[in-house]
Structure 1
Amino acid sequence: MIHRYTITGMTCNGCKASVEKALTAIDGIETVAVDLQQSEARLTMSTPISEAILQEALPEKYTITEQKESNVFASVSNNDTDNKSELKQLFPLFLIFGYILIASFLMNKNPWNPEAFMLDFMGLFYIVFSFFKLLDLKGFPESFKMYDPLAKQIPIYGWIYPFIEVALGLLFLMRIEIPIALVVTLIILGITTIGVTKALLDKKAIQCACLGTALKLPMTKATFIENTVMLIMAVIMLIKTYS
C-alpha cells in the first residue's frame, strides 16, 4: 500500500535525510521517498500504520499529515502544475528583485547615471537580502551550507555571511571603498554561484537560502541568474574603476 503525506518543517537535505531515516525505522514501512521541494513523502507499507505512530517517530520540528486522494486524471497535467507551483514559490524573489530595480532606477533617473544605478542596485540588494537572512540567523547557516562550498568547510562563515552582506550594502550605498567591496562581491558570490551551479547540475532538491528561511524558495535557475547579474555588475564597475 502506498500512502502520500505532507511533511512541514523540512528546510534542507539534512532534514530530508532525518525524516527518511526516522520513517524507514518504523516496522511495516517498506520504502520511503521524500520530496523536499514539495514537502511530501510517499510511503510503501506492508501493514496500515496510523498517522500518530508516524508523527511520534519524527523529531518534534516536523509535522506529518496524510494527503487526501486526488482525481485520477490529475496526473495528466502534473508538469504544468509543477511549473506553476515553482513560479508561485519564486514570486517573492521576483517581487523583491523588481522593487530593488525600480528603486535604483528612480534614485538615478535625473540625471541618468548608469554607474550610480549599479552601485545602488548592489547596495540595496545586499541590504534587503541580508534582512531576510537575519530574521532566522540560527536556521540560515544550516540551509546555506547545503550548497555553498565555503560554508560547508567553515561553518562559522554561514553565521557571519549576513553581516558581510550588510557591510557590503552600506559600502555601496555610501560610496566607501568601492573597489574593495567589488572584489569581495566577486569572491563571495563567485563561491556561492559555483555551489548553486553544482546543485542544479546534480538536480538536488535544496532550499535556496538567498532570502533566509523565512520564505521557502527552491534552488532553481533563478538563483543562478540572480547571482550572475550581481557578478556582471561587479565586473563592469571594476573595469570602469581601473580603466
Structure 2
Amino acid sequence: MKHTYVITGMTCNGCRTSVEDKLNAIKGVLNVIVDLEKAEAIIEMSNRISIDTLQKALSDKYSISEKNESAPSAVEEVQRPSNVIEEKKSELKQLFPLFLIFGYITIASVLINYRPWSGTDFMLDFMGLFYIVFSFFKLLDLKGFPESFKMYDPLAKVMPIYRWVYPFIELALGILFLMRIQIPIALIITLVILGITTIGVTRTLLNKKTIQCACLGTALKLPMTKATFIENSIMMVMAIIMLIKTYN
C-alpha cells in the first residue's frame, strides 16, 4: 500500500536524503520517494504505520502529516474556523524574525538621516541595509540556500550559477547603495532581480504551494507568504521612486 504525506521543514537535497533514509529505516516501510519541491513523500508500506511512528523517526526539524485529498467531513467543516485561526497565529509567529529585521532596518535608516531629514538618503540607506542584512543570512548556509531559492525563483530554476551568486549580488548592491556608488545601475538591477523573484513568489502563492521562503537563507525557517511579496514590493517601489528622482 502507498500513502502520500506532507513534510515541512525540508530546505535542501540534504534534508530530502535525510528524510528518505530515516523513513526507509522504519520496519514495514518498503520504499520512500520524497519530492522536495512539493514537500511531499510517497511511502510504500507492507502494513499501516501510524503518523506518530513516522514522526518519531524524523528529527524535530521536520513535521509529517498525511495528505488528505478527500472532501472534508461535517465535523471538519465545523472545526475549520478555529484551525484557520491557529494557522494564522503560527504563521505570524514564524514571520516575527522578518518583521523584527524590517523594524531594525527602518529605525536605523531613520536615525542615520533624521537630522537633517533626507527622504532620498533614507531610502538609499534602507535598501543598502536591507541587502547587507539579507545577504548575511543567505551566506550563513551557502550550500542550502540555492536549493531553497530555486524552488520559486524562475531564473534560479534554469540557471544554477545564478542561485549560487545571488547572495553576493545582494551584498554588492548593499555596498553600492550605502557608499552611493553607481546608484542608477544598482536601482535597475534591483528592479530586475526582485521583479523576477516576485513573479515566482506570486505563482507560488496563487498555486497555494507550501514551501519555505529563502529570503533569510535557511538559518530562519520562514513560510512563503504574502509578507514575502510585500517586502519585494517595498524595495521595488523605492527603486522606482529613486529612478524617477534620478532622471528628473
1:10 lines up with 2:18 in the alignment: no
Distance 1:222 1:126 in 2: 17
1:225 is matched with 230
- 1:239, CA displacement in angstroms? 0.5
Q: Unmatched 5+ residue regions in structure 2?
A: 66-74
Return the letter of the residue paired with 2:131: Y
Distance 1:106 1:141 in 2: 34
Q: Contact between 2:156 and 2:162, CA under 8 Å: does it hold in 1? A: yes
1:186 is matched with 191
SS in 1 for 2:174: helix
1:100 lines up with 2:105 in the alignment: yes
SS in 2 for 1:133: helix
Distance 2:46 2:121 in 1: 64
| Cα deviation 1:61-102 (Å, max 9, x = unaligned) | 8977889xxxx9995621111000000000000000010011
The equivalent position to 2:134 in structure 1, one of 126, 129, 133, is: 129
The equivalent position to 2:204 in structure 1, one of 194, 199, 202, is: 199
| Cα deviation 1:145-188 (Å, max 9, x = unaligned) | 00001100001111100000010000000000001100110111
Cα 1:144/1:202, change in 2 over 3 Å: same
2:244 is matched with 239
Distance 2:87 2:116 in 1: 44
Please give the TM-score of this superposition, normalised by the length of structure 2: 0.76
SS in 1 for 2:195: helix
Cα 1:221/1:51, change in 2 over 3 Å: closer
SS in 2 for 1:212: coil
What aligned pairs does 1:35-74 form with structure 2 within 5 A after superposition?
47-49=47-49
Distance 2:229 2:9 in 1: 25
What aligned pairs does 1:25-44 form with structure 2 within 5 A after superposition?
none
The equivalent position to 1:120 in structure 2, one of 114, 119, 125, is: 125
- Calculate the aligned-residue CA RMSD, in Å: 4.3
Cα 1:93/1:19, change in 2 over 3 Å: same
Q: Contact between 1:51 and 1:64, CA under 8 Å: does it hold in 2? A: no
Identity among equivalent positions (%) equals 72
Distance 1:173 1:111 in 2: 17
Distance 1:203 1:173 in 2: 37
Please give the TM-score of this superposition, normalised by the length of structure 1: 0.78
Q: Unmatched 5+ residue regions in structure 1?
A: none
2:180 is matched with 175
Q: Contact between 1:13 and 1:146, CA under 8 Å: does it hold in 2? A: no
Q: Contact between 2:132 and 2:170, CA under 8 Å: does it hold in 1? A: yes
